Amino acid sequence: MTIVDLLERNAAGYGSETALVEINPEVKETRRVTWRDYELVEPTGHARHYRREITWNVFNEKANRFANALKMRGVRKGDKVAVLLMNSIEWLPIYFGILKTGAVAVPLNFRYTSEEIRYCVGLADVDVLVFGPEFIGRVEEIADDLSVNRLRIYVGPGCPAFADDYYEMTVECASTFGHLPLSDEDDAAIYFSSGTTGFPKAILHSHRALMHACLTEQNHHNQTHDDVFLCIPPLYHTGAKMHWFGSLLTGSKAVILKGTRPETILSAVSSEKCTIVWLLVPWAQDILSALDRGVLSLSDYELSQWRLMHIGAQPVPQSLIHRWLTYFPNHQYDTNYGLSESTGPGAVHLGVGNVSKVGAIGKAGFGWATRITAPDFTDVKRGEVGELCLKGRGVMKCYYNDPAATEKTIRDGWLLTGDMAMEDEDGFIFLVDRKKDVIITGGENLYPVQIEDFLSANPKIKDVAVIGLPDPRLGEIAAAVIELQPGVSCTEEEIDEFCRALPRYKRPRRVIFAPVPRNPTGKIEKPKLRRMYGGEGLVAAQNQS
């Protein structure tokens, strides 16, 4: 069975029930205008609440119509179809329509520049590009030399002249699609690495890996048909989609929320009776900050049905979870660890019964095995730091078109994650840092995550990133980039005093008060910070503070 079969099963068994809801709390009203030689829409300045929903029957029919449209235009098994869309109710039916044809879905990051779109489309040998109105300008810039072999399909009002076709044409296509046999080993999707450590790599996954993600998610969080999942992160990323796969497996309702403000999240949980919410660290921090400041009151919302808050995509400060449980003492809590190369989250998870181990990422997930290895690929002793390695049915097939990188990353079936970790006496794994982020100062290894976790306990600090900066004497020094809570003031001397509880060699030698940039999946963009604050950038930041 593949995830395509799951969709068809849900349509047969739960056809009239709600599958997806889309909520945008502040949609700008629009009017049609002419720009160049095609129509667009522009905002009128008025905002309104926007909600749509579709049943499992309609979901499956939309996927079938899109599959038929692709097939009519020559798309065949093994072709690559890229998806460049913001989160919407169309996103997943388009994704499943691609899979039904036997083609490979290639989701693209909505933050990509024109050049990054060109690079990823070329790397993945994309045949078809599906894109939305937010990307007209970026796609038009490269339309003439974009290496899309067949066509560009536009999703939205006002089809631009350089598009070859538009999504609305699917209404003329049949709502049923002839069964196409798919095997577990068939190629299913290409995802791109987050690019926090360099240019994105194309990660090829099989249908077997996607199905395994469904089973892992449902096993970890015990979804039932009665659960309602709130999906906020971008669907192009494995994290959001693989968590939603638990809803797919159980035929339960999911809510796609466009907005991350604390009141927007709690309002959606309340109105849609959401039971499971996956948050990124910044969103959880914002909710706690709003509650601490009294600008948000839990009594204004119906939250009694909310049973699970889980979090991942980055190291989670222990202090954040302890604060969360003071406001939500009845919540189950779970940390999920994974990476796009392992079909997203779930390769390691804390488990809802292990709140006493907050700070750990947990143990090997359902269907997964873990090792922590030394540079020679032998296992380190418990309590020692090494590289976390994963094995399971969700490991990628390869880095597409990059055999050298694949060989470095997959060894004897084990995925080398590049994350440094240690295992405690109870078998729980603690993430220490990215291998490339380890700071070597005067011959000592510093793991930034440990320092970040310590600093996060300071109530004045909203977010923090620790990076290594060049030093002529020590090689590198630790610098803390600190984003303060709204309306709070703090000095470098206060931070120095707070850090006296750390061993001297772990204390940051530079403190920079500035925003902490994160990508759409919540990961700190440390290469960007090193570029910003190395050399002259550091001097400029210090002068501003």
What are the tens digits of pLDDT across the range 77-130?
Answer: 999 999 999 999 999 999 999 999 999 999 998 888 888 899 999 999 999 999
Average pLDDT of the chain to the nearest whole number: 87
Domain shared by 118 and 77, yes or no:
yes
What are the tens digits of pLDDT across the range 207-259?
Answer: 999 999 999 999 999 999 999 999 998 999 888 889 999 999 999 999 999 98
| pLDDT class of 537 with cuts at 50, 70, 90 | very low
Q: Could you tell me the CATH number of the domain that includes residue 80?
A: 3.40.50.980
pLDDT surpasses 70 at 442: no
Give mean pLDDT, residues 269-280: 94
Domain shared by 243 and 170, yes or no:
no
The pLDDT assigned to 174 comes to 95
Give mean pLDDT, residues 483-496: 92
Residue finishing a domain among 124, 156, 182: 182
Domain shared by 42 and 98, yes or no:
yes
Domain shared by 265 and 411, yes or no:
yes
Rounded to the nearest 5°, which phi and psi values hold at 394?
-95, 5
What are the tens digits of pLDDT across the range 355-380?
Answer: 888 888 999 999 999 999 999 999 99
Q: Could you tell me the CATH number of the domain that includes residue 506?
A: 3.30.300.30
The angle formed by the CA atoms of residues 162, 520 and 469, to the nearest 5 degrees, is 120
pLDDT surpasses 70 at 41: no
SS3 40: strand
Can you say whether the dihedral through the CA atoms of 72, 75, 77, 83 is positive or negative? Answer: negative
Asked if the structure places residue 237 within a domain, the reply is yes
Q: Could you tell me the CATH number of the domain that includes residue 296?
A: 3.40.50.12780
SS3 115: helix
The pLDDT assigned to 535 comes to 52
The pLDDT assigned to 42 comes to 44
* Separation between Cα atoms, residue 80 and residue 57, nearest integer Å: 26
* Separation between Cα atoms, residue 481 and residue 517, nearest integer Å: 10
* Separation between Cα atoms, residue 119 and residue 122, nearest integer Å: 5
What are the tens digits of pLDDT across the range 151-204?
Answer: 899 999 888 888 888 888 898 999 999 878 899 999 999 999 865 445 789 999
Q: Which helix (H) or strand (E) holds 108?
A: none
Domain shared by 140 and 228, yes or no:
no
Give mean pLDDT, residues 491-495: 94
Asked if the structure places residue 119 within a domain, the reply is yes
The pLDDT assigned to 27 comes to 58
Can you say whether the dihedral through the CA atoms of 371, 374, 380, 384 is positive or negative? Answer: negative
pLDDT surpasses 50 at 538: no
pTM here is 0.81
Domain shared by 128 and 57, yes or no:
yes
What are the tens digits of pLDDT across the range 296-353?
Answer: 999 999 999 999 999 876 667 788 888 999 999 999 999 888 889 999 888 999 998 8
CB 43 within 8 A of CB 24: no
What are the tens digits of pLDDT across the range 407-419?
Answer: 999 999 999 998 8
* Separation between Cα atoms, residue 58 and residue 67, nearest integer Å: 14
Structural domain harbouring 501:
444-544
**N- to C-terminal Cα separation, the chain:** 58
Letter for the amino acid at 208?
A: R
Domain shared by 169 and 127, yes or no:
yes
* Tokens, residue 359: 């700070």
Domain count, the chain: 3
pLDDT surpasses 50 at 495: yes
Query: How large is the C-alpha radius of gyration of the chain?
Result: 24
Domain shared by 523 and 427, yes or no:
no
CB 456 within 8 A of CB 480: no
CA count, 13 A, side-chain hemisphere, 476: 21
Rounded to the nearest 5°, which phi and psi values hold at 542?
-65, -40
Domain shared by 527 and 388, yes or no:
no
Residue finishing a domain among 182, 208, 232: 182
State the Cα torsion 298-299-304-305 to the nearest 10°. Answer: -70
Residue finishing a domain among 406, 434, 462: 434
* Separation between Cα atoms, residue 401 and residue 415, nearest integer Å: 18
Percentage of the chain modeled with pLDDT above 70: 90
The pLDDT assigned to 40 comes to 40
